[in-house]
């Protein structure tokens, strides 16, 4: 079994309140959950209205599948015009860890 985790650090565009931030981040998290079999949540920068940290995790029998799913998640978020992807950090845990 392999477990992959992806942290996506985002800069939001024209956002001036935490309410606007929620309305920008919530659809991204929902789309990640719907399109891919992953767990996703806003996981950081909760008190900053122009920054967001989205955490994504996936579990599979082989490392290649986990890597492919996390790559697709990263591409989806990077392709959103209202967001700027500042960084993406990835971890992969396998049976030897």
Domains in the chain: ranges and CATH = 2-93 (3.30.70.1120)
- Is the per-residue pLDDT at 6 higher than 90? yes
Per-residue pLDDT band for 49 (boundaries 50, 70, 90) equals confident
Q: What is the pLDDT of residue 96?
A: 85
Per-chain mean pLDDT for the chain: 94
- Is the per-residue pLDDT at 92 higher than 90? yes
- Angle CA 83–73–68, to nearest 5: 150
Higher pLDDT, 97 or 45: 45
Q: Which long-range contacts (CB under 8 A, 24 or more apart) does 19-23 make?
A: 20/49, 21/49, 21/50, 21/52
Q: What is the pLDDT of residue 97?
A: 80
Please give the average per-residue pLDDT across 64-77, as a whole number: 96
Residue 36 DSSP code: S
């Amino acid at each position: 079994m392999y477990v992959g985790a992806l942290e996506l650090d985002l800069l939001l565009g024209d956002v001036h309140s935490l309410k606007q931030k929620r309305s920008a981040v919530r659809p991204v998290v929902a789309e990640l959950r719907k399109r891919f079999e992953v767990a996703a949540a806003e996981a950081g920068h909760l008190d900053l209205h122009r920054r967001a940290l989205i955490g994504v995790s996936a579990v599979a029998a082989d490392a290649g599948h986990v890597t492919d799913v996390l790559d697709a998640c990263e591409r989806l978020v990077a392709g959103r015009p209202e967001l700027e992807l500042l960084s993406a950090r990835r971890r992969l845990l396998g049976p030897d860890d």
